[in-house]
Amino acid sequence: MVTKTNYVYPPAAYLVQCERSEFSGKTYADAIDYLMIVIKERDLCASQIDSIREWQARTKQGFK
């Protein structure tokens, strides 16, 4: 009997590097603009993590 291990990885689209913008502003308005950018980046990253979790749950169900 031979045991073979198959590694299953999440789709590459879920593993895209998250963006991290640098703050270079000097005013409160710049800080607000930066905050809006950071919120969008955070939401995109959170979406990727949610997609990985969903993929993992679907994959685990397939192996039962």
Task: List, run by run, the mean pLDDT of 10-residue segments along the chain (64 residues).
Answer: 87 89 97 98 95 89 65
Cβ density class 26-44: b for 16+ within 10 Å, e for less: eeeeeeeeeeeeeeeeeee
Rounded to whole angstroms, how far apart are CA atoms 14 and 51?
A: 7
Whether residue 55 is contained in a domain is answered as: yes
Whether residue 42 is contained in a domain is answered as: yes
Whether residue 21 is contained in a domain is answered as: no
* pTM score: 0.71
Whether residue 41 is contained in a domain is answered as: yes
- Indicate the number of domains in the chain: 1
Q: What is the pLDDT of residue 5?
A: 86
Whether residue 4 is contained in a domain is answered as: no
Rounded to whole angstroms, how far apart are CA atoms 56 and 50?
A: 10
Residue 21 is classified by DSSP as: P
**Domain limits for position 53:** 33-64
Q: What is the pLDDT of residue 32?
A: 98
